[in-house]
């Protein structure tokens, strides 16, 4: 352990405890290599304790009226407002995104907390006329139990808020495993929930690896709910391991999102949208634009403008206000991203700019990759099919609108999509025909709002959605209620023939 590095612990049943093994790992600033804290390398024993605490807390938490649960979420949201700058600075230090983006990450958690708190006075069911006399029919939402929440590092405050706020307002309790790259932010998140008045055991925090903590959480028989955001490969394993227990499983997986630029597009606006979508968060977003599908009549003009815009981007520490693109999260990510540059070159794509690790001056201390743009890419190339999860995007030339749609849909994922056009007819056809959970018109592929469903089609997930009222459909079960006040046995369809 580095000298002076603070030691953090798990939060189980309201107590801060280490791992029984005594083993730890460090969180490291990807821009500087500086150690930020030491965290417990937990295992199945800690998961079991956390699940037991959550299961016990569920007995009383599910009975707390939803408007009262909402008051805690409102309080949590207000604490996020008060600590927004502090949390944003920690986020930039722990995972690298530039400070304004980190502030946006926290703001998304603020918005989600307030939104889900509002659902505490809604959680609507339905009433409907009975087919029989003197009988009342309604449906209500009910909580399910302990939710296992497994989150990634790229949105270390926002994504936990999407899952945990919806779980809590629905009356569930939580065992939360944050990513190993952002354990400090996971700790601060849980600390603020406790400060907001959340009872002990309602949210429990267990640090550690996916293999030791995550797998036990997935397989634990007392965890009926699992919400996971991560790669397709790991998501498939989560589904397989959870299947024998018939768990409710929500998977938010990969993306290979495309921006279509038609011949009538506002090219200046398109360039702005592409750069923001491809290189925001150093391309480390599931909604990042890693493909740009361009009508042949504007291909050359767009390529020229885009190269110039990308080469103006400044690499550096995200705390520096002059920085446009921060580091990628760790060395393994850096190596993976660079391997795709080699793949693209081997496939015959034309490297227009970037394509190298940045190692001069202060950049040598961190994990920096130059924003990378490939031209003359074919839709079937690996760099046009596989999720790179870094600051790389590719240009694909098409002849017309129909080919653009075919190319856009010609991938295994279906998360986000975009089209730049001034033709309202094309815009609405794209909305109809693009195989994606999200479509933007005259905007990039990033920028979702918390009151609409978030998620994708095909290999992007398993059909569930986060955010908006759709999130409640995962974290609750429906109960149909029939109240017969006729004073006699009525046998439904038998007596209704």
Residues labelled catalytic: 252, 286
CA distances from residue 388 to 199, 237, 318, 326 in whole angstroms, order as listed: 41, 20, 21, 17
DSSP string, 110-139: HHHHHHHHHHTTT---EEEE-SSTTEEEEE
Contacts of 4 (CB under 8 A, 6+ apart): none
Cα 57–Cα 59–Cα 61 angle in degrees, nearest 5: 65
Three-state SS for 256? coil
Q: Which residue has the tokens 């995200």?
A: 318
Listed residue (146, 455, 211, 405) closest to 295, CA to CA: 405
Tokens of 346: 């081997």
For the chain, the first-to-last Cα distance in angstroms comes to: 76
Give the number of other CB atoms < 10 A from CB of residue 68. Answer: 9
Whole-number Å distance between alpha carbons of 350 and 341 = 10
Whole-number Å distance between alpha carbons of 497 and 338 = 70
Whole-number Å distance between alpha carbons of 397 and 403 = 10
Whole-number Å distance between alpha carbons of 212 and 220 = 12
Three-state SS for 262? coil
Whole-number Å distance between alpha carbons of 164 and 160 = 6
Whole-number Å distance between alpha carbons of 396 and 404 = 9
Give the number of other CB atoms < 10 A from CB of residue 111. Answer: 18
Three-state SS for 235? helix
In this structure, are residues 472 and 311 in contact, taking their beta carbons and an 8 Å threshold? no
Phi, psi of 268 (to 5 degrees): -65, -45
Phi, psi of 373 (to 5 degrees): -135, 125
Catalogue the E-assigned strands of 246-384: 248-252, 257-261, 289-295, 350-353, 372-375
């Amino acid at each position: 352990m580095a000298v002076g590095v603070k030691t953090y612990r798990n939060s189980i049943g309201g107590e801060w405890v280490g791992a029984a093994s005594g083993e730890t790992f460090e969180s490291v600033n990807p821009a500087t290599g500086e150690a930020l804290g030491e965290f417990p390398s937990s295992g199945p024993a800690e998961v079991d304790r956390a699940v037991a605490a959550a299961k016990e807390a569920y007995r009383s938490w599910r009975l707390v009226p939803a408007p009262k649960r909402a008051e805690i979420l409102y309080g949590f949201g207000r604490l996020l407002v008060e600590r927004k700058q502090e949390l944003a600075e920690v986020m930039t230090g722990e995972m690298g995104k530039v400070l304004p983006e980190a502030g946006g990450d926290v703001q998304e958690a603020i918005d989600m907390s307030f939104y889900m708190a509002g659902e505490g006075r809604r959680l609507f069911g339905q009433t409907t006329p009975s087919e029989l006399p003197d009988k009342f029919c309604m449906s209500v939402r009910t909580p399910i139990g302990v939710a296992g929440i497994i989150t990634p590092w790229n949105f270390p405050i926002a994504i936990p808020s999407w899952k945990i706020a919806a779980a809590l307002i629905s009356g569930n309790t939580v065992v939360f495993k944050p990513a190993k790259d952002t354990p400090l932010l996971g700790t601060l998140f849980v600390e603020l929930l406790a400060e907001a008045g959340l009872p002990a055991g309602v949210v429990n925090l267990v640090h550690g690896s996916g293999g030791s903590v995550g797998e036990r959480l997935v397989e634990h028989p007392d965890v009926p709910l699992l919400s996971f955001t991560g790669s397709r490969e790991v998501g498939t394993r989560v589904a397989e391991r959870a299947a024998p227990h018939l768990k409710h499983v929500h998977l938010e997986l990969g993306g290979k999102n495309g921006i279509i630029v038609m011949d009538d597009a506002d090219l200046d606006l398109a360039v702005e949208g592409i750069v923001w979508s491809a290189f925001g968060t150093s391309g480390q977003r599931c909604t990042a634009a890693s493909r740009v599908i361009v009508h042949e009549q504007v291909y050359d003009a767009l390529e020229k403008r885009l190269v110039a815009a990308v080469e103006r981007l400044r690499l550096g520490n995200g705390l520096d206000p002059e920085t446009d693109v921060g580091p990628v999260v760790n060395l393994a990510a850096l190596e993976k991203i660079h391997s795709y540059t080699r793949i693209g070159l081997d496939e015959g794509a034309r490297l227009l700019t970037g394509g190298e690790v940045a190692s001069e001056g202060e950049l040598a201390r961190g994990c920096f990759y130059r924003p990378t743009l490939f031209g003359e890419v074919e839709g079937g190339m690996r760099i046009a099919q596989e999720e790179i999860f870094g600051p790389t995007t590719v240009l694909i030339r098409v002849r017309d609108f129909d080919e653009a749609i075919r190319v856009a849909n010609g991938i295994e994922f279906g998360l986000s999509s975009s089209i730049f056009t001034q033709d309202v007819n094309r815009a609405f056809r794209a909305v109809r025909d693009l195989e994606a959970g999200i479509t933007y018109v005259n905007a990039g592929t990033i920028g979702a709002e918390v009151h609409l469903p978030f998620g994708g089609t095909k290999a992007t997930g398993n059909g569930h959605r986060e955010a908006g009222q759709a999130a409640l459909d995962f974290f609750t079960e429906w109960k149909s209620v029939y109240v017969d006040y006729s004073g006699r046995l009525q046998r439904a369809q038998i007596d209704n023939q």
